[in-house]
């Protein structure tokens, strides 16, 4: 019995130490194309409660992901090798191994179910929970032609913030949220023709090669996303803007949940009437 419990512990440690599968979002979570310096965003500092160190420990960022999985796997592998050398598995029969494997598998499923329940409970109730897709999702609808206040730059920064003439920043950012979801759906379905409408030819070639490495339909869902304009500039016949996306997405098949932290760089030929905005770069943060 002692040997069976030892083997069960090893199998369970290996199962828990395995890294999670990466959720597949638009672009494969990589940076492509052009990149520009953008305005930094300062997250709000959390107050430290000197009278309650337990609370501070709970709010501290938790380390997880690849390093946690690798360390867990290495520790479990080392324990496994040690037990093999010490003869801990001698005398066990085939049914013993089968019983232990089933128990370990059940424990892993139970832990995953508990994690899933915590994720559902902790999911923020955002204004986008009742999201309704826009009736117009063509690239031209990134911007609506209305007046907007002009700005010359960010405070204490060399990042330009010169809005193109007639640029409606609020309408643009609202459209950008819709297009983020539209492109994720196209990426899931491997609808590259839809992707082509939104990106430059150079970026499309890179994204097509990246999507070809994925097999079949993906199951990534944008849970919520917010946008912020972090760069803007224009010349006699061109305009550039950079939009920062932040939010949360989930791979429904793998039950893997990750943050959205990326910037899209877009360009437009303003010398051409009704020219669409095209994404020329995707930058992961």
Higher pLDDT, 221 or 131: 221
Interatomic CA distance for residues 140 and 236, integer angstroms: 20
**pLDDT score for 154:** 58
> What SS3 state is found at 60?
coil
Kindly list the domain boundaries of the chain, sorted by start residue: 131-284
pLDDT digits (tens, 9 = 90+) for 45-79: 444 555 555 445 444 444 444 444 444 444 444 54
Q: What is the DSSP letter of 167?
A: B
| Phi, psi of 117, rounded to the nearest 5 degrees | -65, -35
The answer to whether 86 and 17 are in contact (CB under 8 A) is no
pLDDT band at 7 (very low <50, low <70, confident <90, very high): low
What pTM was computed for the model? 0.60
pLDDT band at 85 (very low <50, low <70, confident <90, very high): low
CATH architecture of the domain 131-284 equals Roll (3.10)
Nearest alpha carbon to residue 244 among 232, 257, 256, 253: 232
In the chain, where does DSSP find H-type helix?
2-17, 53-59, 66-86, 94-122, 169-188, 192-196, 201-212
pLDDT digits (tens, 9 = 90+) for 155-213: 557 899 999 999 999 999 999 999 999 999 999 999 999 999 999 999 999 999 999 99
> How far, rounded to the nearest angstrom, does the alpha carbon of residue 107 sit from its chain's CA centroid?
28
Interatomic CA distance for residues 227 and 245, integer angstroms: 5
């Amino acid at each position: 019995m002692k040997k069976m419990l030892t083997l069960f512990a090893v199998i369970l440690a290996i199962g828990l130490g395995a890294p999670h599968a990466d959720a597949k979002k638009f672009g494969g979570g990589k940076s492509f194309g052009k990149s520009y310096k953008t305005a930094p965003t300062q997250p709000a500092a959390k107050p430290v409660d000197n009278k309650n160190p337990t609370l501070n420990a709970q709010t501290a960022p938790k380390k997880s992901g690849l390093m946690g999985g690798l360390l867990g796997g290495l520790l479990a592998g080392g324990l496994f090798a040690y037990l093999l050398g010490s003869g801990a598995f001698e005398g066990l029969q085939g049914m013993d191994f089968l019983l232990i494997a089933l128990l370990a598998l059940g424990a892993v499923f139970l832990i995953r179910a508990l994690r899933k329940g915590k994720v559902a409970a902790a999911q923020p109730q955002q204004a986008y929970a009742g999201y309704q897709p826009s009736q117009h999702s063509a690239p031209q609808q990134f911007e609506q032609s209305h007046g907007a206040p002009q700005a010359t730059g960010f405070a204490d920064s060399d990042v330009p913030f010169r809005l193109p003439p007639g640029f409606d920043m609020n309408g643009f950012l609202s459209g950008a949220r819709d297009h983020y979801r539209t492109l994720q759906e196209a990426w899931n379905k491997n609808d590259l023709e839809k992707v082509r409408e939104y990106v430059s030819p150079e970026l499309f070639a890179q994204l097509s090669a990246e999507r070809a490495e994925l097999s079949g339909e993906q199951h990534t869902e944008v849970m919520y996303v917010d946008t912020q304009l972090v760069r803007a500039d224009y010349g006699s016949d061109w305009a550039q803007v950079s939009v920062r996306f932040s939010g949360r997405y989930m791979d429904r098949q793998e039950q893997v949940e990750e943050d959205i932290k990326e910037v899209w760089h877009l360009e437009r030929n303003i010398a051409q009437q009704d020219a669409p905005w095209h994404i020329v770069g995707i930058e992961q943060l």
